[in-house]
Structure 1
Amino acid sequence: MIPAKRKVPLKVMNSQPNKTKLASGTLALSCSCRPVLSIKLEHPSTCIHLDCLRLPETIVIMLLLCLLLVTLTPAFGDDLLTVATNNGCGKIAGLIRSAGLEDALKAAQAVTLFAPNDEAVAQIPSDVLAQLQQNATLLASVLEFHVVPQVAHAADITNDLLLPTLGAGDAKLRLNVYTSTQTVYHSVFPAITVSHNTTQVVTAEGSAVVKTDLAADNGLVHVIDKVIYPLPATNLPLTLTFNKELGSLAYLIYQATLTDALVVTAEGSAVVKTDLAADNGLVHVIDKVIYPLPATNLPLTLTFNKELGSLAYLIYQATLTDALANSPFTIFAPSDAALNKLPGQVYNDLLMNVTRLKEILFTHVVKGVVFSKGLSNGETLTNLQGTSLSITSGADGVKVNHVKVVTADVPATNGVIHVIDTVIMPK
């Protein structure tokens, strides 16, 4: 076993009171001239006891330094795989060699290996193990997730700590610390005493850490009781969706509008992976190509859209073009076909009554930018008229105040447009 601390206690037994001492760091040597010099060198892995004839003190000191060097050589010479093998992780070390990662792991500096023990490897289902052994790329990706490119001492691990790994992308290893206290009552008549036994369990992606801080020449090894596989690749809702046994729960979560409890979008495209490091920046993965590009403000975007020109004209007639051109807004825009549904007299009255026209237009506008990913079933939005717009989402699509959204996420430089098929009339 490789000692975590490399201090070597050294004892020199000499009955003579007259001593010469040499001290350097944690090493202290004491010797003197006498017919027989008795020396005992103690180390966790070695105990050397020798009796010397009368020798010059300098020679004795050199002899002791040589013995010390021989004793410390194993502690400073063992690489990560050797340390892992010596601590019951020989099978995972063999898989690391099979994946062609041995040289890279030996060359790495200041790394931490979370090494599954032999019992953990034996628990891998035979078909899964065969798949890993036949696919070197997959095996390497699994093993790289067990390696952290920094020295992570057990004392520095905190609950829900995320550590970077050598895995692809932004793969992070989640560490947890669980503390439990058991109350024990001791009865020794006539008194009753109480004691509290506290235990602590550290896990890496749910695998218990059973040995910690095993020192190697280029890092540390922590032994865990389970191979981390499959790797955490998606968030909770997506993981449920892609699991053939959990699809029903994923559907219920979707129906309860909890899937997008936290959504980040880029021009309406959901960001599904974040902070993937590159040598010259970062990559965020999105679920949709951003097209068409937001090239003009909201009024101009309406004007240039062949289905929305009538609404753009009404906004102009209501002198709202400038007001909607700069600040961020979301417009639920009735299409030309939707406006054509209005009786002719109603449409003409709106052109003659600017106040009423503004009321109707403000009913369709919400302050702030809300792409479709941010519209949740049962949600209520407040429009510029000060009234509520109720959002419903289901198998037949998204509706606002029971009016169907026929085209979502038309981007503009200062907001977004959702095209609807009917005019929402204020009460």
Structure 2
Amino acid sequence: MKHLLRVLILSFISLTTFATVHQVNAGMFYYNPSSLTISLGDTVVWINDGGTHDVNANTNSVTGESFGNPESFNSSSTNVMGATMHTQVFNLAGTYEYDCSVGNHALQGMVGSITVEGGENGTVVEIIVNSPDHTILESAVILADLVDDLSGNGPFTVFAPTDAAFNALSAGALDALLDDENALTAVLLQHVHPGYVTADDLEEGMEVETLNEGILEVSVNGEVIMIDMSTVTFANIVADNGIVHVIDMVLLPSTDEQTVMDIIANSPIHTTLNQAITAANLQETLSGDGPFTVFAPADEAFDGLPPGTLDLILANQDELIDLLYNHVHSEEVYSEDLEDGMMVPTLNGTELEVSIDGMTVMINLATVIEADLPASNGVVHIIDKILLPEMGEVDTTVWSIIKASPIHTTLEAAIDAAGLGETLSGDGPYTVFAPTDDAFDALPEGAVDELLADIQLLTEILLHHVHADNALAEDLMDGMEIPTMNNDVLVVTIDGSSVMIDMASVIQADVVADNGVVHIIDMVLIPADPTSIEILFNNKDVEYLHTINLLGELVDRNSTDKIVIDIYSNGTSIKRYNLRQ
């Protein structure tokens, strides 16, 4: 980063503090001086001393061949004495030949040359190589064999994603990209424009062509410049053969010659989505006429699922198809068509809600991280989360919601073991705070097995998660006490958008059923008092004696130790898990 800042500062200095304006006078058959050596970023102004003349740095007026200059330019002719014929800023190093194309002036010796000496930055490749924040881009350019090409005369405008931008791709996607030279080359060339474009040249709505024959769309909001969905974090690092702008996201190429299925299959960040579509046998559907709008979750969106969830989804084709169809709209909708509050129907029969805040576009709870990848049969928008279908629209009871959920297999097994499925399928209404599989996995080792083996204790703990009425998220208030079906209470804590039930956080609220509502939580709720243990003893002669910790030391019955053991008069010992602490 320090080197990058140094390069940026030196580039700025070279363009401002030390930039020089040089004057060349033009008269009858002469430019004076006829040869000039300047520095990168300097300006040359041609002044007419008399007669009709121009400045031509395109095609040699004598031979008819191109001068082969690093950059071509020319002016209109003028016969006004003292007029400025042309002004040129030289941002590319090299030698420039030029002449006067009026009449036979060039043949009479009216020719000139300018040598532009490069700064210390070097070529666009050398800037990338010397930047500690672009090691992955450097490796990619080398692997794609583009070093010589991008070290040529140019000019090139390079939008250079940082290492952090590449690391934002899933690890598998980055490795797959680096292993596929054709795909890698296409991605890299999508970041290069065959011309010289400074930040000042970029305008709102401008389309920048790339060497991959793609288009990058420019968005300007105040001082923020975006290239597609990436933000320019450092601009105008001047090179001998072009200019580099640092960006915070990898730009993925797209082409409307591909179907939406082709775009997903060829994308290095959609390997999991491609796998899911293949497992659901939907490739042919998404390769059809369409049109389709696909909200395509990146690999990291799937990585955010609890462990094992993806395998469960892939194993159930009906659920998988429902999930995938929840990401597809049967019309072509580009970002410009989306409006705040708009509802987008899906092939799954559900609706997705659009939220727009400034330049941020959200589909339900997912953020659009790259929009408008056009296809021959529709358009693809890349999103950062999976769009889960509203389970309440498919299932009818809180019990069927839990059974259908791929992240509640332990809770399902517990309810089955306790024989509470029929209860939770009844009229209700019920509010169920449903701990995920991860929540059960967080219990001490062996706790789940012990619970499943002790139906009375298991039943009381499960009923501690159920309220015998409807309680939607909007009904919950800070400090509210919710009575449970085991005659205990749960305490609600609300802090901003965070909702907690006792010590558990609500991670998804309001999964609505016909007989109530399910709120997904991240911790198993344990009754506050050990009364759940007392019911194990029906013999009135059995009395509680004392409590010890795992070291065998006597502790208070309400000890804050995670695990304590209650000792009873008949010699029974009960291990207790104090999860409230």
More strand by share: 1
Interval of TM-score (by shorter of Structure 1 and Structure 2): 0.3 to 0.5
TM-score (norm 2): 0.24
TM-score (norm 1): 0.33
Q: 1 or 2 for the larger relative contact order (CA 8 Å, sep ≥6)?
A: 1
